[in-house]
Amino acid sequence: MAKVMVIGIDGLDPDLIHTWQNELPSFRKIMGEGYAGKIESVFPPDSVSAWATIFTGKTPAQHGIMEHVSYLDNGSTHINISNMIGKTFWDFAGKAGKKVCVVNPFFAYPVWPVNGVMISGPVFMKGDVQSYPSNILSKEDMPDIGGITDFPNKNKLAEFIEKNRADIKRLYHFSKEHFRKDTYDLCFVTFLQLDRIQHFLWRYTDPEDCTYPGPNNYRESIKEFYQLFDEIIGRFMENLDNQTTLMIISDHGHGRRCTKVLNINEILRRAGYVKSRVGRCKYLDLKYLAEKAKLETLEAVYHLNLEDLMFAITRYIPNRKALKKSTFITNTTTSLASTSVFAGTNPYGGITIHRENMKQTGMDYEAFRLEVIRLLQDFKDERTGKRPFVWLKCREDIDQGPFLDIYPDILFELEESYGVNWALHTKITRVNTTHKKISGGHRYHGFYGILNSKNITGKERIVDIASTILNILQTPADEKS
């Protein structure tokens, strides 16, 4: 009887695996004896929406889970999983009589009844690790499940690395032991640590990064984590029988985060689409002065390498999100369009059309949306003479489903050196002052590898993962709907 073991590794990048393949024997074995390649994530390639797609086989517009979690905000975040409960690949497998063991599925918390075992923990919020059945957990040797709470400064990077390495090893041993406790048809574990390691350590490992500090103790850190996961995958392989397919998946890839930002609201303001709250005499306007002071202070902090101090201070600033996103200076009651914050400071983003405000002008929604797209398509960075927008599309051209409105009206991707920013009354292109704090960023293509399967096919999208697992398990088709 066919069985499946799925190892999810958040942020596992296919290009890095290719680069280091001679030092990754387990990945090389998958490449040689099975299939290994790139897989398309969702838009934007954020972990929450991407894992929800992997779990359910639905796109974000179909499952409705779209939550961008900012490491810099370091706040408590509740993710509504009601649309996902009972609709994951392990639920469908269980309904078909397959016994499952699911450990640390990202943000799938609180746990719910399954045909087997489910162990999960909270993410970005307080709470205890939970299990179904509730009586199977022991506090002894409990790994770090769920909670993403560590935000290291420069002086604690070594401690951060060691903690994540230890957490990976503990989670490996924990999941391996639970997988062995019964005869399961489907085993699934998710490791979240690699994504965090790459976010915080990228610039220390990449000599081409403009903030690379030179020779340092962390130069090989990211590669060492890839080697650690290669070792763990090799150990899982040792225990596979001929009936068990091994699948390695990631939700997205990883690379250098944007080093400069594009103030898209300023482009829209100069075109008359975004309205500012600043009065005619801007040099006497406190909002204008606050915006200028914010931008100059952030750049000074960046150049003086004081980002850890600034990060510690900003947590205590009242209305810091309004200051960060410049919403305090943006007049939302009269603006016709504005840059969405749904994807954070990344090359992926969107433009929201304010339809209620448009009604007062008599403008046609579709015509105006295309007008905004043309404006941004034609925009050129005055410093480089190049167009920073790779593409711009109407949201319905990216996805379809009952939750389409979780997306802004216009979606876009920037050239990867740019990130989205929201400042007004400033230069359109500025340095990304958060790059030294978080220098690694998500890439659109994740990794997909499969071994020991009779019908190995290369999947190109993470939305296909759930159906692939169920097909291997020979789950009846009517259980997938």
pTM of the model: 0.94
Q: Is 402 within the bounds of a domain?
A: yes
**Over residues 308-328, mean pLDDT:** 72
- Do 357 and 445 belong to one domain? no
Closest CA to 408 of 427, 392, 385: 392
| % of the chain with per-residue pLDDT over 70 | 91
- Residue keyed to tokens 């060691």: 162
- Do 225 and 289 belong to one domain? no
250 or 241: which leads in pLDDT:
250
- Do 75 and 139 belong to one domain? yes
How far is it, in rounded angstroms, from Cα 28 to Cα 21? 6
Q: What is the average pLDDT value for the chain, to the nearest integer?
A: 91
* Whether 479 contacts 92, CB under 8 Å: yes
Does the structure show a pLDDT above 90 at 55? yes
- Do 236 and 334 belong to one domain? no
- Do 194 and 223 belong to one domain? yes
pLDDT of residue 141: 65
**Number of Cβ atoms within 10 Å of the Cβ of 461:** 14
Enumerate residues 6+ apart whose C-beta is below 8 A from 231. Answer: 26
- Do 320 and 207 belong to one domain? no
Closest CA to 351 of 342, 341, 343, 339: 339
**Number of Cβ atoms within 10 Å of the Cβ of 231:** 14
* Whether 392 contacts 376, CB under 8 Å: yes
| Max avg pLDDT among 130-144, 323-337, 391-405 | 391-405
154 or 428: which leads in pLDDT:
428
- Do 273 and 170 belong to one domain? no
Does the structure show a pLDDT above 90 at 178? yes
- Do 459 and 318 belong to one domain? no
- Do 55 and 88 belong to one domain? yes
How far is it, in rounded angstroms, from Cα 478 to Cα 481? 6
| Max avg pLDDT among 70-79, 286-295, 436-445 | 436-445
How far is it, in rounded angstroms, from Cα 441 to Cα 255? 5
Q: Is 436 within the bounds of a domain?
A: no
Q: Is 273 within the bounds of a domain?
A: yes
DSSP letters, 131-161, are EESTT---STT----S-------GGGHHHHH
**Over residues 64-93, mean pLDDT:** 80
pLDDT of residue 166: 94
Does the structure show a pLDDT above 70 at 234? yes
Task: Residue 82: give its domain's CATH number.
Answer: 3.40.720.10
How far is it, in rounded angstroms, from Cα 107 to Cα 77? 10
What order do you get walking across the sheet with 429-431 strand by strand? 418-421, 260-263, 429-431
Q: Is 175 within the bounds of a domain?
A: yes
Quote the number of domains for the chain.
2
Give the total residue count for the chain. Answer: 481
- Do 234 and 266 belong to one domain? no
Of the listed ranges 156-160, 249-253, 325-329, the least confidently predicted one is 325-329
- Do 65 and 210 belong to one domain? yes
Q: What are phi and psi of 410, to 5 degrees?
A: -120, 135
Range of the domain at 77: 3-256+441-479
Buried b (16+ CB within 10 A) or exposed e, 320-337: eeebbbbbebbeeeebbb
Q: Is 123 within the bounds of a domain?
A: yes
- Do 237 and 171 belong to one domain? yes
pLDDT interval class at 361 (50, 70, 90): confident
Q: What are phi and psi of 3, to 5 degrees?
A: -135, 160
Strand partners, 7: 189, 248
**Over residues 194-222, mean pLDDT:** 97
Of the listed ranges 2-6, 221-225, 325-329, the least confidently predicted one is 325-329
DSSP letters, 78-111, are ----TTTTT-SHHHHHHHTT--EEEE--TT--S-
Q: What is the pLDDT of residues 449-471, one digit of tens each?
A: 999 877 666 568 999 999 999 99
pLDDT of residue 481: 46
* Whether 180 contacts 215, CB under 8 Å: no
Residue 426 DSSP code: S
